[in-house]
Protein backbone atom coordinates (compact mmCIF):
# COMPACT_ATOMS: atom_id res chain seq x y z
CA UNK A 1 0.00 0.00 0.00
CA UNK A 2 1.45 3.37 -1.01
CA UNK A 3 2.37 5.78 1.72
CA UNK A 4 1.78 8.72 -0.60
CA UNK A 5 -1.84 9.76 -0.15
CA UNK A 6 -4.03 12.83 -0.61
CA UNK A 7 -4.81 13.52 3.04
CA UNK A 8 -3.54 12.43 6.45
CA UNK A 9 -5.78 13.16 9.44
CA UNK A 10 -3.96 13.06 12.78
CA UNK A 11 -6.43 12.56 15.63
CA UNK A 12 -9.97 11.49 14.95
CA UNK A 13 -12.14 13.37 17.39
CA UNK A 14 -15.68 14.21 16.29
CA UNK A 15 -14.50 16.66 13.61
CA UNK A 16 -11.58 14.59 12.37
CA UNK A 17 -13.71 11.48 12.05
CA UNK A 18 -16.38 13.36 10.09
CA UNK A 19 -13.87 15.10 7.82
CA UNK A 20 -11.82 11.98 7.15
CA UNK A 21 -14.97 10.03 6.25
CA UNK A 22 -16.29 12.79 4.01
CA UNK A 23 -13.02 13.12 2.10
CA UNK A 24 -12.70 9.35 1.70
CA UNK A 25 -16.28 9.16 0.41
CA UNK A 26 -15.42 11.92 -2.05
CA UNK A 27 -12.77 9.62 -3.52
CA UNK A 28 -9.59 10.99 -1.93
CA UNK A 29 -6.95 8.63 -0.55
CA UNK A 30 -7.20 9.30 3.17
CA UNK A 31 -5.19 7.94 6.09
CA UNK A 32 -6.72 8.55 9.50
CA UNK A 33 -4.71 7.98 12.66
CA UNK A 34 -5.80 7.92 16.26
CA UNK A 35 -3.67 6.99 19.21
CA UNK A 36 -6.72 5.99 21.24
CA UNK A 37 -10.36 5.75 20.09
CA UNK A 38 -11.95 6.98 16.87
CA UNK A 39 -14.55 9.57 17.83
CA UNK A 40 -12.37 11.11 20.52
CA UNK A 41 -13.24 12.47 23.93
CA UNK A 42 -16.92 13.18 23.30
CA UNK A 43 -18.37 9.68 22.89
CA UNK A 44 -15.99 7.77 25.16
CA UNK A 45 -15.09 10.13 28.01
CA UNK A 46 -17.04 13.35 27.56
CA UNK A 47 -20.36 14.58 26.24
CA UNK A 48 -22.25 11.35 25.81
CA UNK A 49 -21.44 9.41 28.99
CA UNK A 50 -21.68 12.58 31.09
CA UNK A 51 -25.06 13.44 29.60
CA UNK A 52 -26.32 9.90 30.25
CA UNK A 53 -25.26 10.31 33.87
CA UNK A 54 -26.94 13.73 34.00
CA UNK A 55 -30.16 12.40 32.46
CA UNK A 56 -30.36 9.77 35.19
CA UNK A 57 -29.43 12.24 37.93
CA UNK A 58 -32.04 14.72 36.72
CA UNK A 59 -34.72 12.04 36.86
CA UNK A 60 -33.88 11.63 40.56
CA UNK A 61 -34.09 15.38 41.08
CA UNK A 62 -37.45 15.51 39.34
CA UNK A 63 -38.72 12.67 41.52
CA UNK A 64 -37.60 14.64 44.60
CA UNK A 65 -39.89 17.46 43.40
CA UNK A 66 -42.92 15.19 43.56
CA UNK A 67 -43.77 16.10 47.18
CA UNK A 68 -44.06 19.79 46.19
CA UNK A 69 -46.34 19.01 43.27
CA UNK A 70 -47.93 15.59 43.27
CA UNK A 71 -47.84 13.51 46.42
CA UNK A 72 -45.09 11.12 47.46
CA UNK A 73 -42.27 9.30 45.66
CA UNK A 74 -40.05 6.57 47.04
CA UNK A 75 -36.58 7.29 45.67
CA UNK A 76 -33.71 4.84 46.02
CA UNK A 77 -30.86 5.92 43.74
CA UNK A 78 -28.93 3.18 41.97
CA UNK A 79 -25.89 4.03 39.85
CA UNK A 80 -25.80 0.62 38.16
CA UNK A 81 -28.08 1.56 35.22
CA UNK A 82 -25.86 4.57 34.47
CA UNK A 83 -22.70 2.48 34.54
CA UNK A 84 -24.36 -0.11 32.29
CA UNK A 85 -25.60 2.48 29.78
CA UNK A 86 -22.17 4.12 29.62
CA UNK A 87 -20.44 0.79 29.10
CA UNK A 88 -22.95 -0.83 26.71
CA UNK A 89 -24.66 2.01 24.84
CA UNK A 90 -22.29 4.99 24.92
CA UNK A 91 -18.88 3.41 24.61
CA UNK A 92 -19.33 -0.23 23.62
CA UNK A 93 -17.00 -0.93 26.55
CA UNK A 94 -14.56 1.67 25.18
CA UNK A 95 -14.28 -0.17 21.89
CA UNK A 96 -14.33 1.89 18.67
CA UNK A 97 -14.59 -0.95 16.13
CA UNK A 98 -17.91 0.38 14.80
CA UNK A 99 -16.35 3.80 14.16
CA UNK A 100 -13.23 2.29 12.58
CA UNK A 101 -15.39 0.12 10.30
CA UNK A 102 -17.53 3.14 9.37
CA UNK A 103 -14.39 4.99 8.23
CA UNK A 104 -12.78 2.09 6.41
CA UNK A 105 -16.18 1.32 4.86
CA UNK A 106 -15.99 4.74 3.21
CA UNK A 107 -12.62 3.85 1.73
CA UNK A 108 -10.32 5.35 4.38
CA UNK A 109 -7.26 3.63 5.81
CA UNK A 110 -7.09 3.64 9.60
CA UNK A 111 -3.92 3.38 11.65
CA UNK A 112 -3.96 3.13 15.42
CA UNK A 113 -1.00 5.19 16.50
CA UNK A 114 0.48 8.51 17.47
CA UNK A 115 0.94 10.90 14.54
CA UNK A 116 3.48 13.68 14.24
CA UNK A 117 4.25 16.14 11.47
CA UNK A 118 7.83 15.84 10.22
CA UNK A 119 7.77 18.38 7.39
CA UNK A 120 5.44 20.45 5.19
CA UNK A 121 3.83 17.37 3.62
CA UNK A 122 5.06 14.51 5.76
CA UNK A 123 3.73 12.71 8.79
CA UNK A 124 5.14 9.92 10.92
CA UNK A 125 2.63 7.52 12.45
CA UNK A 126 4.34 4.97 14.63
CA UNK A 127 7.18 3.62 12.47
CA UNK A 128 5.66 4.64 9.14
CA UNK A 129 6.26 7.82 7.16
CA UNK A 130 3.45 9.23 4.98
CA UNK A 131 3.37 11.95 2.37
CA UNK A 132 0.14 13.92 2.10
CA UNK A 133 -0.02 15.65 -1.26
CA UNK A 134 -3.21 17.63 -0.59
CA UNK A 135 -3.58 18.18 3.15
CA UNK A 136 -2.57 17.24 6.65
CA UNK A 137 -5.39 17.79 9.15
CA UNK A 138 -4.81 17.97 12.90
CA UNK A 139 -7.71 17.08 15.21
CA UNK A 140 -5.84 15.99 18.27
CA UNK A 141 -8.01 17.60 20.94
CA UNK A 142 -6.92 17.99 24.51
CA UNK A 143 -6.01 16.01 27.60
CA UNK A 144 -7.06 16.85 31.14
CA UNK A 145 -4.73 19.50 32.60
CA UNK A 146 -3.31 18.58 35.98
CA UNK A 147 -2.31 21.62 38.03
CA UNK A 148 1.05 21.59 39.85
CA UNK A 149 -0.45 21.35 43.35
CA UNK A 150 2.03 19.82 45.82
CA UNK A 151 1.29 16.13 46.34
CA UNK A 152 -1.40 15.84 43.67
CA UNK A 153 0.58 13.97 41.01
CA UNK A 154 1.36 11.11 43.38
CA UNK A 155 -2.30 10.45 44.26
CA UNK A 156 -4.84 8.23 42.44
CA UNK A 157 -7.02 11.19 41.43
CA UNK A 158 -9.75 10.95 38.81
CA UNK A 159 -10.01 12.92 35.61
CA UNK A 160 -13.18 12.96 33.53
CA UNK A 161 -12.02 9.72 31.92
CA UNK A 162 -12.18 7.88 35.24
CA UNK A 163 -15.32 9.63 36.48
CA UNK A 164 -17.45 8.60 33.53
CA UNK A 165 -16.27 5.00 33.92
CA UNK A 166 -17.29 4.82 37.59
CA UNK A 167 -19.22 1.68 38.48
CA UNK A 168 -20.68 3.23 41.63
CA UNK A 169 -21.19 6.75 42.93
CA UNK A 170 -18.55 7.39 45.60
CA UNK A 171 -19.62 8.26 49.13
CA UNK A 172 -17.77 11.55 48.94
CA UNK A 173 -16.02 13.50 46.20
CA UNK A 174 -13.90 16.63 46.01
CA UNK A 175 -14.01 18.31 42.60
CA UNK A 176 -11.13 20.61 41.70
CA UNK A 177 -12.48 23.15 39.22
CA UNK A 178 -15.91 24.74 39.06
CA UNK A 179 -16.14 24.89 35.27
CA UNK A 180 -18.28 22.88 32.88
CA UNK A 181 -16.83 19.42 33.56
CA UNK A 182 -16.55 19.93 37.31
CA UNK A 183 -20.06 21.24 37.85
CA UNK A 184 -21.88 18.83 35.54
CA UNK A 185 -20.28 15.82 37.22
CA UNK A 186 -20.45 17.33 40.73
CA UNK A 187 -24.21 17.82 40.55
CA UNK A 188 -24.83 14.45 38.89
CA UNK A 189 -22.92 12.51 41.55
CA UNK A 190 -24.51 14.58 44.33
CA UNK A 191 -27.95 13.63 43.07
CA UNK A 192 -26.95 9.97 43.46
CA UNK A 193 -26.10 10.64 47.09
CA UNK A 194 -22.39 11.51 46.91
CA UNK A 195 -21.28 14.22 49.33
CA UNK A 196 -19.61 16.73 47.02
CA UNK A 197 -17.24 19.65 47.63
CA UNK A 198 -16.18 21.88 44.75
CA UNK A 199 -12.90 23.80 44.98
CA UNK A 200 -12.68 26.67 42.51
CA UNK A 201 -9.75 29.05 42.38
CA UNK A 202 -11.76 31.92 40.84
CA UNK A 203 -14.11 34.02 42.93
CA UNK A 204 -17.18 32.33 41.45
CA UNK A 205 -18.14 29.08 39.76
CA UNK A 206 -18.46 29.15 35.94
CA UNK A 207 -16.19 32.22 36.07
CA UNK A 208 -16.30 32.88 32.34
CA UNK A 209 -20.08 33.04 32.13
CA UNK A 210 -22.35 35.91 33.20
CA UNK A 211 -22.30 36.57 36.95
CA UNK A 212 -26.10 36.21 37.00
CA UNK A 213 -25.74 32.65 35.65
CA UNK A 214 -23.11 31.83 38.21
CA UNK A 215 -25.33 33.18 41.00
CA UNK A 216 -28.35 31.07 40.02
CA UNK A 217 -26.22 27.95 39.88
CA UNK A 218 -24.49 28.77 43.17
CA UNK A 219 -27.89 29.05 44.86
CA UNK A 220 -29.19 25.81 43.37
CA UNK A 221 -26.07 23.76 44.11
CA UNK A 222 -25.87 25.13 47.65
CA UNK A 223 -29.54 24.23 48.19
CA UNK A 224 -28.68 20.71 47.00
CA UNK A 225 -26.01 20.62 49.72
CA UNK A 226 -22.91 20.72 47.55
CA UNK A 227 -20.16 22.59 49.42
CA UNK A 228 -18.80 25.30 47.09
CA UNK A 229 -15.39 26.73 47.99
CA UNK A 230 -14.64 29.64 45.67
CA UNK A 231 -11.58 31.87 45.67
CA UNK A 232 -9.96 28.77 47.13
CA UNK A 233 -6.63 27.68 45.65
CA UNK A 234 -5.86 24.09 46.61
CA UNK A 235 -2.53 24.22 48.46
CA UNK A 236 -1.72 20.54 48.91
CA UNK A 237 -3.22 17.14 48.15
CA UNK A 238 -2.53 13.79 49.79
CA UNK A 239 -3.94 10.28 49.78
CA UNK A 240 -3.57 7.89 52.71
CA UNK A 241 -4.57 4.69 50.93
CA UNK A 242 -8.29 5.11 51.57
CA UNK A 243 -9.11 8.76 50.97
CA UNK A 244 -7.97 12.18 49.83
CA UNK A 245 -7.16 15.30 51.82
CA UNK A 246 -7.10 18.66 50.06
CA UNK A 247 -5.77 21.69 51.91
CA UNK A 248 -7.42 24.99 51.05
CA UNK A 249 -6.99 28.36 52.82
CA UNK A 250 -10.07 27.69 55.00
CA UNK A 251 -8.93 24.28 56.24
CA UNK A 252 -8.91 20.70 55.00
CA UNK A 253 -11.39 18.75 52.90
CA UNK A 254 -11.54 14.97 52.96
CA UNK A 255 -13.22 12.59 50.52
CA UNK A 256 -13.12 9.12 49.07
CA UNK A 257 -12.46 10.43 45.54
CA UNK A 258 -10.89 13.50 43.96
CA UNK A 259 -11.84 14.67 40.46
CA UNK A 260 -9.47 17.07 38.71
CA UNK A 261 -11.42 19.23 36.27
CA UNK A 262 -9.29 22.33 36.04
CA UNK A 263 -9.16 22.78 32.28
CA UNK A 264 -7.44 21.08 29.37
CA UNK A 265 -3.91 20.78 27.99
CA UNK A 266 -2.51 20.53 24.46
CA UNK A 267 0.94 19.46 23.27
CA UNK A 268 1.84 21.36 20.11
CA UNK A 269 5.53 20.41 20.41
CA UNK A 270 4.58 16.72 20.46
CA UNK A 271 2.72 17.21 17.18
CA UNK A 272 5.95 18.30 15.49
CA UNK A 273 4.69 21.76 14.60
CA UNK A 274 8.21 23.16 14.86
CA UNK A 275 9.02 21.17 11.70
CA UNK A 276 6.71 23.48 9.74
CA UNK A 277 7.98 26.62 11.43
CA UNK A 278 5.18 27.13 13.97
CA UNK A 279 5.59 28.32 17.54
CA UNK A 280 4.99 25.42 19.92
CA UNK A 281 5.12 27.38 23.17
CA UNK A 282 1.46 28.23 22.99
CA UNK A 283 -1.66 26.36 24.01
CA UNK A 284 -3.57 26.67 20.75
CA UNK A 285 -2.82 26.89 17.03
CA UNK A 286 -4.08 29.91 15.09
CA UNK A 287 -5.99 28.86 11.99
CA UNK A 288 -7.20 31.20 9.26
CA UNK A 289 -10.87 31.27 8.29
CA UNK A 290 -10.47 28.02 6.30
CA UNK A 291 -8.72 26.36 9.27
CA UNK A 292 -5.23 26.44 7.71
CA UNK A 293 -2.31 26.81 10.08
CA UNK A 294 0.26 26.53 7.24
CA UNK A 295 0.17 25.84 3.54
CA UNK A 296 -1.59 22.46 3.20
CA UNK A 297 -1.91 21.97 6.98
CA UNK A 298 -5.29 22.35 8.67
CA UNK A 299 -6.35 22.20 12.33
CA UNK A 300 -9.84 21.70 13.72
CA UNK A 301 -11.42 21.18 17.13
CA UNK A 302 -10.27 22.01 20.63
CA UNK A 303 -6.66 22.77 19.61
CA UNK A 304 -7.85 25.85 17.71
CA UNK A 305 -9.05 27.52 20.94
CA UNK A 306 -12.30 28.65 19.31
CA UNK A 307 -14.50 26.83 21.83
CA UNK A 308 -13.87 23.33 23.16
CA UNK A 309 -17.16 21.89 21.98
CA UNK A 310 -18.16 19.05 19.70
CA UNK A 311 -20.31 21.38 17.62
CA UNK A 312 -17.31 23.67 16.97
CA UNK A 313 -15.18 20.70 15.93
CA UNK A 314 -17.90 19.47 13.54
CA UNK A 315 -18.48 22.96 12.12
CA UNK A 316 -14.79 23.49 11.47
CA UNK A 317 -14.55 20.01 9.92
CA UNK A 318 -17.22 20.95 7.37
CA UNK A 319 -15.45 24.22 6.47
CA UNK A 320 -12.04 22.56 6.17
CA UNK A 321 -13.37 19.60 4.16
CA UNK A 322 -15.00 21.96 1.68
CA UNK A 323 -11.78 23.89 1.30
CA UNK A 324 -9.68 20.74 0.83
CA UNK A 325 -12.12 19.58 -1.86
CA UNK A 326 -11.77 22.94 -3.61
CA UNK A 327 -15.45 23.78 -3.15
CA UNK A 328 -16.66 27.33 -2.65
CA UNK A 329 -18.16 28.30 0.66
CA UNK A 330 -17.85 30.74 3.52
CA UNK A 331 -15.00 30.61 5.99
CA UNK A 332 -15.51 29.95 9.68
CA UNK A 333 -16.98 32.69 11.86
CA UNK A 334 -17.23 32.68 15.62
CA UNK A 335 -19.45 35.57 16.66
CA UNK A 336 -22.28 33.22 17.67
CA UNK A 337 -20.66 30.16 19.25
CA UNK A 338 -23.31 28.54 21.46
CA UNK A 339 -22.44 26.66 24.61
CA UNK A 340 -24.53 24.80 27.16
CA UNK A 341 -23.41 23.59 30.55
CA UNK A 342 -25.76 20.72 31.32
CA UNK A 343 -26.29 21.36 34.98
CA UNK A 344 -29.88 21.61 36.19
CA UNK A 345 -30.77 24.38 35.51
CA UNK A 346 -28.93 24.32 32.19
CA UNK A 347 -26.69 27.29 31.49
CA UNK A 348 -26.90 28.20 27.82
CA UNK A 349 -24.96 31.08 26.35
CA UNK A 350 -24.08 32.43 22.92
CA UNK A 351 -21.71 35.12 21.70
CA UNK A 352 -20.18 37.63 24.10
CA UNK A 353 -20.86 38.12 27.79
CA UNK A 354 -21.38 41.68 28.97
CA UNK A 355 -17.83 41.76 30.38
CA UNK A 356 -16.30 40.48 27.11
CA UNK A 357 -18.27 43.05 25.10
CA UNK A 358 -17.17 45.91 27.37
CA UNK A 359 -13.54 44.72 27.19
CA UNK A 360 -13.80 45.12 23.42
CA UNK A 361 -14.96 48.70 23.87
CA UNK A 362 -18.48 47.97 22.62
CA UNK A 363 -21.19 50.31 23.86
CA UNK A 364 -23.70 47.83 25.33
CA UNK A 365 -27.22 47.73 26.65
CA UNK A 366 -28.14 44.77 28.86
CA UNK A 367 -31.32 43.39 30.36
CA UNK A 368 -32.21 40.43 32.55
CA UNK A 369 -35.41 38.69 33.51
CA UNK A 370 -35.94 36.03 36.15
CA UNK A 371 -37.40 32.74 34.90
CA UNK A 372 -39.44 32.06 38.09
CA UNK A 373 -41.40 35.27 37.52
CA UNK A 374 -42.31 34.36 33.93
CA UNK A 375 -45.71 32.67 33.46
CA UNK A 376 -44.16 29.30 32.66
CA UNK A 377 -41.58 29.56 35.40
CA UNK A 378 -44.32 30.29 37.95
CA UNK A 379 -46.41 27.35 36.70
CA UNK A 380 -43.36 25.06 36.73
CA UNK A 381 -42.63 25.94 40.39
CA UNK A 382 -40.21 23.37 41.90
CA UNK A 383 -36.98 23.48 39.88
CA UNK A 384 -37.83 26.71 38.07
CA UNK A 385 -34.59 28.58 38.84
CA UNK A 386 -33.20 30.59 35.97
CA UNK A 387 -32.43 33.91 34.37
CA UNK A 388 -32.25 35.30 30.85
CA UNK A 389 -29.72 38.00 30.06
CA UNK A 390 -29.33 39.87 26.81
CA UNK A 391 -26.36 41.91 25.62
CA UNK A 392 -27.10 44.40 22.85
CA UNK A 393 -24.66 46.38 20.76
CA UNK A 394 -26.24 49.78 21.43
CA UNK A 395 -24.97 51.29 18.19
CA UNK A 396 -25.85 48.45 15.83
CA UNK A 397 -29.18 47.54 17.46
CA UNK A 398 -28.48 43.79 17.48
CA UNK A 399 -27.85 41.21 20.17
CA UNK A 400 -24.19 40.22 20.43
CA UNK A 401 -24.60 37.89 23.37
CA UNK A 402 -27.23 36.14 25.42
CA UNK A 403 -27.52 33.75 28.33
CA UNK A 404 -30.39 31.44 29.11
CA UNK A 405 -30.34 29.66 32.46
CA UNK A 406 -33.32 27.54 33.41
CA UNK A 407 -35.19 24.31 32.84
CA UNK A 408 -34.35 23.48 29.19
CA UNK A 409 -32.08 26.56 29.18
CA UNK A 410 -30.08 25.04 26.32
CA UNK A 411 -33.19 24.66 24.19
CA UNK A 412 -34.39 28.19 24.96
CA UNK A 413 -30.96 29.32 23.83
CA UNK A 414 -31.70 28.29 20.24
CA UNK A 415 -33.87 31.34 19.59
CA UNK A 416 -31.18 33.60 21.01
CA UNK A 417 -28.48 31.85 18.98
CA UNK A 418 -30.44 32.57 15.79
CA UNK A 419 -30.78 36.22 16.81
CA UNK A 420 -27.05 36.61 17.50
CA UNK A 421 -25.94 34.57 14.48
CA UNK A 422 -28.20 36.30 11.95
CA UNK A 423 -27.89 39.72 13.63
CA UNK A 424 -31.66 40.10 13.72
CA UNK A 425 -32.44 43.73 14.70
CA UNK A 426 -33.65 43.98 18.29
CA UNK A 427 -36.62 46.06 17.11
CA UNK A 428 -37.65 43.15 14.88
CA UNK A 429 -37.25 40.65 17.76
CA UNK A 430 -39.52 42.84 19.86
CA UNK A 431 -42.25 42.50 17.18
CA UNK A 432 -42.16 38.70 17.23
CA UNK A 433 -44.96 36.58 18.77
CA UNK A 434 -43.70 34.34 21.61
CA UNK A 435 -45.92 31.33 22.37
CA UNK A 436 -47.66 31.36 25.74
CA UNK A 437 -46.74 29.93 28.23
CA UNK A 438 -43.33 28.68 27.03
CA UNK A 439 -40.02 29.15 28.78
CA UNK A 440 -38.74 31.00 25.72
CA UNK A 441 -41.48 33.60 26.10
CA UNK A 442 -39.35 35.10 28.90
CA UNK A 443 -37.09 36.37 26.09
CA UNK A 444 -39.83 38.87 25.21
CA UNK A 445 -39.82 40.23 28.75
CA UNK A 446 -36.03 40.60 28.68
CA UNK A 447 -36.24 42.40 25.32
CA UNK A 448 -38.77 44.85 26.75
CA UNK A 449 -36.17 45.85 29.35
CA UNK A 450 -33.49 46.69 26.78
CA UNK A 451 -33.42 50.46 26.54
C1 LIG B 1 -16.58 15.42 30.55
C2 LIG B 1 -16.73 16.20 29.26
C3 LIG B 1 -17.99 16.58 28.85
C4 LIG B 1 -18.15 17.29 27.67
N5 LIG B 1 -19.41 17.63 27.30
C6 LIG B 1 -19.59 18.30 26.14
C7 LIG B 1 -20.89 18.62 25.69
O8 LIG B 1 -21.89 18.31 26.35
N9 LIG B 1 -21.03 19.28 24.52
C10 LIG B 1 -19.94 19.63 23.77
O11 LIG B 1 -20.13 20.23 22.70
N12 LIG B 1 -18.68 19.34 24.17
C13 LIG B 1 -18.49 18.68 25.33
N14 LIG B 1 -17.22 18.35 25.72
C15 LIG B 1 -16.08 18.76 24.87
C16 LIG B 1 -15.92 17.77 23.70
O17 LIG B 1 -15.68 16.48 24.18
C18 LIG B 1 -14.79 18.20 22.76
O19 LIG B 1 -14.90 19.55 22.45
C20 LIG B 1 -14.92 17.35 21.52
O21 LIG B 1 -14.55 16.02 21.79
C22 LIG B 1 -14.14 17.89 20.33
O23 LIG B 1 -12.79 17.66 20.49
P24 LIG B 1 -11.79 17.53 19.29
O25 LIG B 1 -12.51 17.40 18.01
O26 LIG B 1 -10.80 18.62 19.39
O27 LIG B 1 -11.04 16.15 19.55
P28 LIG B 1 -11.11 15.10 20.73
O29 LIG B 1 -12.47 14.61 20.95
O30 LIG B 1 -10.35 15.61 21.89
O31 LIG B 1 -10.33 13.88 20.07
C32 LIG B 1 -8.98 13.98 19.72
C33 LIG B 1 -8.48 12.62 19.30
O34 LIG B 1 -7.15 12.76 18.84
C35 LIG B 1 -6.38 11.65 19.31
N36 LIG B 1 -4.99 12.10 19.33
C37 LIG B 1 -4.45 13.08 20.08
N38 LIG B 1 -3.16 13.27 19.73
C39 LIG B 1 -2.90 12.38 18.74
C40 LIG B 1 -1.77 12.10 17.94
N41 LIG B 1 -0.63 12.79 18.07
N42 LIG B 1 -1.86 11.12 17.03
C43 LIG B 1 -3.00 10.41 16.86
N44 LIG B 1 -4.11 10.65 17.58
C45 LIG B 1 -4.06 11.62 18.49
C46 LIG B 1 -6.98 11.32 20.65
O47 LIG B 1 -6.72 9.98 20.96
C48 LIG B 1 -8.46 11.60 20.43
O49 LIG B 1 -9.15 10.44 20.01
C50 LIG B 1 -17.02 17.63 26.89
C51 LIG B 1 -15.74 17.25 27.29
C52 LIG B 1 -15.58 16.54 28.47
C53 LIG B 1 -14.20 16.13 28.87
N1 LIG C 1 -21.58 20.96 28.22
C2 LIG C 1 -20.48 21.21 27.54
O3 LIG C 1 -20.51 21.67 26.39
C4 LIG C 1 -19.17 20.87 28.13
C5 LIG C 1 -19.10 20.07 29.25
C6 LIG C 1 -17.85 19.80 29.77
C7 LIG C 1 -16.73 20.31 29.16
N8 LIG C 1 -16.84 21.07 28.07
C9 LIG C 1 -15.66 21.67 27.43
O10 LIG C 1 -14.48 21.17 28.01
C11 LIG C 1 -13.67 22.27 28.41
C12 LIG C 1 -12.89 21.88 29.62
O13 LIG C 1 -13.73 21.79 30.78
P14 LIG C 1 -13.18 22.10 32.22
O15 LIG C 1 -14.32 22.14 33.14
O16 LIG C 1 -12.02 21.21 32.52
O17 LIG C 1 -12.51 23.51 32.03
P18 LIG C 1 -13.05 24.98 32.32
O19 LIG C 1 -11.99 25.87 31.83
O20 LIG C 1 -14.44 25.14 31.83
O21 LIG C 1 -13.12 25.05 33.90
C22 LIG C 1 -11.99 24.83 34.71
C23 LIG C 1 -12.21 25.54 36.02
O24 LIG C 1 -11.16 25.17 36.90
C25 LIG C 1 -10.73 26.31 37.58
N26 LIG C 1 -9.35 26.06 38.00
C27 LIG C 1 -8.22 26.10 37.25
N28 LIG C 1 -7.15 25.75 38.00
C29 LIG C 1 -7.64 25.44 39.23
C30 LIG C 1 -7.03 24.99 40.43
N31 LIG C 1 -5.72 24.77 40.51
N32 LIG C 1 -7.83 24.78 41.51
C33 LIG C 1 -9.17 25.00 41.44
N34 LIG C 1 -9.79 25.43 40.31
C35 LIG C 1 -9.03 25.63 39.23
C36 LIG C 1 -10.88 27.44 36.56
O37 LIG C 1 -10.94 28.70 37.20
C38 LIG C 1 -12.18 27.05 35.89
O39 LIG C 1 -13.31 27.59 36.52
C40 LIG C 1 -14.65 23.40 28.68
O41 LIG C 1 -14.04 24.64 28.48
C42 LIG C 1 -15.73 23.16 27.67
O43 LIG C 1 -15.44 23.85 26.49
C44 LIG C 1 -18.04 21.36 27.53
For the stretch 383-437, pLDDT in tens is: 999 999 999 999 999 999 999 999 999 999 999 999 999 999 999 999 999 999 9
175 C-alpha to center of ligand 1: Å?
21
What is the band of 21 on the pLDDT scale with cuts at 50, 70, 90? very high
CATH annotation of 160-262: 3.50.50.60
Q: What does the alpha-carbon distance between residue 126 and residue 114 come to, in Å, rounded to a whole number? A: 6
307 is in an annotated binding site: no
Determine the pLDDT at residue 64: 98
Instruction: Give the tens place of pLDDT for each residue, 164-179.
Output: 999 999 999 999 999 9
Residue nearest to atom 45 of ligand 1 (CA): 11
368 has a pLDDT exceeding 90 = yes
What is the band of 153 on the pLDDT scale with cuts at 50, 70, 90? very high
Determine the pLDDT at residue 138: 98
Q: What mean pLDDT is predicted for residues 315-319? A: 98
To test the pocket of ligand 2, the residue of 179, 258, 334 to mutate (highest count of ligand atoms within 8 Å of its CB) is: 179
What is the band of 231 on the pLDDT scale with cuts at 50, 70, 90? very high
Q: What mean pLDDT is predicted for residues 280-293? A: 97
Q: What does the alpha-carbon distance between residue 198 and residue 354 come to, in Å, rounded to a whole number? A: 26
Question: Does CATH place domain 3-44+94-142+266-325 in 1.10.3720.10?
Answer: no
Residues with CB under 6 A from ligand 2: 147, 176-182, 184, 199-202, 207, 233-234, 261-264, 308-309, 339-342
422 C-alpha to center of ligand 1: Å?
28
What is the band of 1 on the pLDDT scale with cuts at 50, 70, 90? confident
To test the pocket of ligand 1, the residue of 17, 114, 140, 318 to mutate (highest count of ligand atoms within 8 Å of its CB) is: 140
> Distance between alpha carbon 129 and the CA centroid of its chain, in Å?
34
CATH topology of domain 338-448: Enolase-like; domain 1 (3.30.390)
Considering only CA atoms, which of 437, 362, 445, 444 is closest in space to residue 407? 437
Residues ≥6 apart with Cβ < 8 Å to 346? 340, 404, 405, 406, 407, 408, 409, 410
160 has a pLDDT exceeding 90 = yes
> Distance between alpha carbon 171 and the CA centroid of its chain, in Å?
26
**CB 187 within 8 Å of CB 344:** yes
Q: Where do the domains of the chain lie?
A: 3-44+94-142+266-325, 160-262, 338-448
Determine the pLDDT at residue 379: 98
Same topology between domain 3-44+94-142+266-325 and domain 160-262:
yes
Considering only CA atoms, which of 397, 385, 398, 399 is closest in space to residue 338? 399
Instruction: Give the tens place of pLDDT for each residue, 61-96.
Output: 999 999 999 999 999 999 999 999 999 999 999 999
Amino acid sequence: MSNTVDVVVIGMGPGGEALAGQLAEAGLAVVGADARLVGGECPYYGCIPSKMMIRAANSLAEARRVPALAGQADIRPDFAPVAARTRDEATDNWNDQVAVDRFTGKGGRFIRGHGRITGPQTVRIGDEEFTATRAIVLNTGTDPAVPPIPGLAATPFWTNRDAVAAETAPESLIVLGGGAIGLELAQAFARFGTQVSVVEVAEKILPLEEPEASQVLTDVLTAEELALHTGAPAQAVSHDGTGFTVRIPDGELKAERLLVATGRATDLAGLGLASIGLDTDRQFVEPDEYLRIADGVYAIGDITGKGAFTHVSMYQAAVAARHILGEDGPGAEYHAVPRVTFTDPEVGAVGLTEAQARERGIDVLTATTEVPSSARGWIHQAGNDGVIKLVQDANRGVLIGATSVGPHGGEVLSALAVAVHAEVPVDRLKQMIYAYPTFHRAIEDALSRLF
